[in-house]
Amino acid sequence: MEFKSGFVTIIGRPNVGKSTLMNQVLGEKLAIMSDKPQTTRNKIRTIYTEKDFQIIFLDTPGMHKPKNKLGEYMQKSAVETLKEVDVILLVVDETADMGPGDRYILETLKTVKTPVMLVINKIDKIEPKEFEKLYYMYDELNLFKDIVGISALENKNVEVLLKKIIGFLPEGPQYFPADMITDQPEKVIVSEIIREKLLHYLDEEVPHGVAVEVMKMKKRTNKDMVDISATIYCEKKSHKGIIIGKNGRKLKGVGKSAREDIEKLLGSKVFLELWVKVKENWRDQDNLLNQLGYKS
């Protein structure tokens, strides 16, 4: 049997469930999830391998109109992947509203030759008739090679989607070892886990003015313990107080929650230290964006 392999990018507006889909396919939590827009900031490459195929997924930042240099980087990152892959998955949710963001993505897709599949996510929230209406609305655009309805959260039709993706992949080599599920360094995944917890704990207060840099990650000699020190950057002094919380309670909650997920990832005990520093307007500073991994 021929071995198939290829690259698949997942695009779509923020919050349609792109990271949830990727995590469901892999059975591992590698892409961070939040109900806030623009949760994903970098292209996160993950690898799914079976005996006769290998799919390399790229989970990209949600497409949106940039408001700062970080936004420009995220947008450029998302658009560039469309030319680098074998299949594009456009993920939309169950809502029938097609706003400026949707139209921008659809117009962009008209300019690429890569096969595009439409994935209508969160079908568990709608009736079959509503799904049918959505299906035909998108089908009339004549942009998609296939349209699949799924619920990434409930793992509904995800296997069906995978089989359809494999149908578009060319015969090719196994690019990565079978047991490798991401090309991201552990430090990057750890910083993303901490940032996810901040997004959850901060509600609507300061979610997008926050970045995380892992300063130290070292396994203790002869002990099942990894020491991690990470710095949380925020844009204002008032934000620093919010992140730390009264008597340090909020930061402790972030640390405890992050540590539990990091321990699952690393398979060992973790001693996690978190520091909060103010870096005004870091999202518009090239040197800081580069330092935090947001520049190619």
Model confidence over 239-268: pLDDT tens digits? Answer: 898 899 889 999 999 999 999 888 887 778
pLDDT at 163 over 90: yes
Tell me which H or E stretch contains 22: helix 18-26
* Percent of the chain residues past pLDDT 90, beyond the cut: 36
Domain ranges of the chain: 4-168, 186-291
Better-scored residue on pLDDT, 65 or 253? 253
Better-scored residue on pLDDT, 231 or 32? 231
Same fold for the pair 4-168 and 186-291: no
Residues 6+ apart with CB under 8 A from 143: 106, 109, 110, 116, 118
What pLDDT shows up at residue 69?
Answer: 66
What pLDDT shows up at residue 37?
Answer: 42
CATH-assigned architecture of domain 186-291:
2-Layer Sandwich (3.30)
pLDDT at 208 over 60: yes
Lowest mean pLDDT among 1-15, 91-105, 136-150: 91-105
Q: Read off the pLDDT band of 294 (50, 70, 90).
A: low
Q: Are 10 and 89 contacting, i.e. CB atoms less than 8 angstroms apart?
A: yes
Q: Are 289 and 283 contacting, i.e. CB atoms less than 8 angstroms apart?
A: yes
Q: Domain spanning 4-168 has what CATH number?
A: 3.40.50.300
Mean of the pLDDT values across residues 65-94? 74
Q: Read off the pLDDT band of 40 (50, 70, 90).
A: very low
For the chain, give the mean pLDDT.
Answer: 82
In terms of average pLDDT, the best of 14-18, 19-23, 199-203, 275-279 is 275-279
Return the number of other C-beta atoms located less than 10 Å from residue 101's C-beta: 16
Better-scored residue on pLDDT, 109 or 1? 109
What digits encode the pLDDT tens for the residues 227-243? 999 999 988 888 898 89
Mean of the pLDDT values across residues 87-108? 82
Better-scored residue on pLDDT, 181 or 248? 248
Q: Are 8 and 165 contacting, i.e. CB atoms less than 8 angstroms apart?
A: yes
d(CA 138, CA 144): 8
